[in-house]
């Protein structure tokens, strides 16, 4: 029996089998959870349906997180099908591609700033509000995905940095609000991984190479590693952890200078 047996998980953010959300879905399914997936639009529907088949064939629903009515429908359908919910994973991020390169000051528009925050940060709060009634009495767990660019200024990450900072602050406020109901709220800060979303960030290849060279573990991380930590955080094994941002990045966040750049092996 896995450590998530009898748990029901909604995972938002699968776009392909390279998605971090997919690594999480596989790990949670392996540990015994039933998985519901959503797809952002019709273009992604078939791919997400295929992923769902590979992890037990649970509910698959459309969800654009900017649409409150769709959010309501997703939780109504889960209420009708499952009656309750134990886990929500939010692995969603977006900013206009043209704002993810060059000067942050020059290239960030009012519209892009608002959109990045709405889709990448506010939507986690909106999902929590929808999930809350279904999680009563179940020691529920909410998890989001963030990146070091929310804590430090990094080239090209630009407007996504403030959006991730807002998301991480939201984790702490949500944890404080919901802890009394036994609902825990955490984030995984993943190292760079080649996915569809990441391909929109300028010079992403260079970022991958630099991280691999500089991280204490001298390599990048995989969606499986992020998936395993996420499954742990959403399980009773992590029952004392909330309001936390856990880095799964080979230790990159912990060093100030690149080991290899300084002559280390």
Could you list the active site residues? 147, 157
Helix (H, G, I), strand (E, B) or coil at 249: coil
For the bound state, the minimum distance from the C-beta of residue 29 to ligand NAD, rounded and expressed in Å, comes to: 17
Q: Give the C-alpha separation, 93 to 63, whole Å.
A: 14
For the bound state, the minimum distance from the C-beta of residue 103 to ligand NAD, rounded and expressed in Å, comes to: 21
For the bound state, the minimum distance from the C-beta of residue 64 to ligand NAD, rounded and expressed in Å, comes to: 4
Closer to ligand NAD by CB, 64 or 177: give it. 64
Q: Give the C-alpha separation, 58 to 48, whole Å.
A: 11
| Binding site residues, ligand NAD, CB under 6 A | 13-16, 19-21, 40, 44, 63-66, 91-94, 119, 145-147, 190, 192-193, 195-198
Q: Give the C-alpha separation, 246 to 263, whole Å.
A: 29
Alpha helix stretches (DSSP H) within 4-57: 20-30, 42-54
Q: Give the C-alpha separation, 167 to 186, whole Å.
A: 10
Q: Give the C-alpha separation, 198 to 156, whole Å.
A: 11
**56 and 80 Cβ atoms separated by less than 8 Å:** no
For the bound state, the minimum distance from the C-beta of residue 6 to ligand NAD, rounded and expressed in Å, comes to: 27
**147 and 95 Cβ atoms separated by less than 8 Å:** no
- Which sign, positive or negative, has the C-alpha torsion 68, 165, 27, 233? negative
């Amino acid at each position: 029996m896995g450590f998530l047996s009898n748990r029901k998980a909604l995972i938002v953010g699968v776009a392909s089998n390279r998605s971090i959300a997919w690594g999480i879905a596989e790990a949670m399914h392996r540990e015994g959870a039933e998985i519901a997936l959503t797809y952002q639009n019709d273009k992604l529907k078939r791919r997400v349906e295929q992923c769902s088949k590979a992890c037990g064939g649970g509910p698959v629903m459309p969800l654009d997180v900017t649409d409150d009515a769709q959010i309501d429908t997703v939780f109504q359908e889960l209420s009708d099908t499952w009656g309750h919910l134990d886990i929500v994973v939010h692995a969603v991020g977006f900013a206009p591609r043209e704002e993810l390169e060059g000067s942050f000051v020059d290239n960030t528009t009012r519209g892009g700033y608002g959109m990045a925050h709405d889709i990448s940060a506010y939507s986690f709060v909106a999902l929590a509000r929808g999930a809350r009634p279904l999680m009563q009495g179940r020691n529920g767990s909410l998890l989001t995905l963030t990146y070091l660019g929310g804590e430090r200024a990094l080239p090209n990450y630009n407007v996504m940095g403030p959006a991730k900072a807002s998301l991480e602050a939201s984790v702490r406020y949500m944890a404080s609000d919901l802890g009394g109901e036994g609902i825990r709220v955490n984030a995984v800060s993943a190292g760079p991984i080649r996915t569809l979303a990441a391909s929109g960030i300028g010079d992403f290849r260079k970022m991958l190479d630099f991280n691999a060279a500089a991280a204490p573990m001298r390599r990048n991380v995989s969606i499986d590693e992020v998936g395993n930590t996420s499954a742990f955080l959403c399980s009773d094994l992590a029952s004392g952890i909330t309001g936390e941002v856990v880095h799964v990045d080979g230790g990159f966040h912990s060093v100030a200078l690149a080991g290899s750049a300084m002559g280390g092996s």
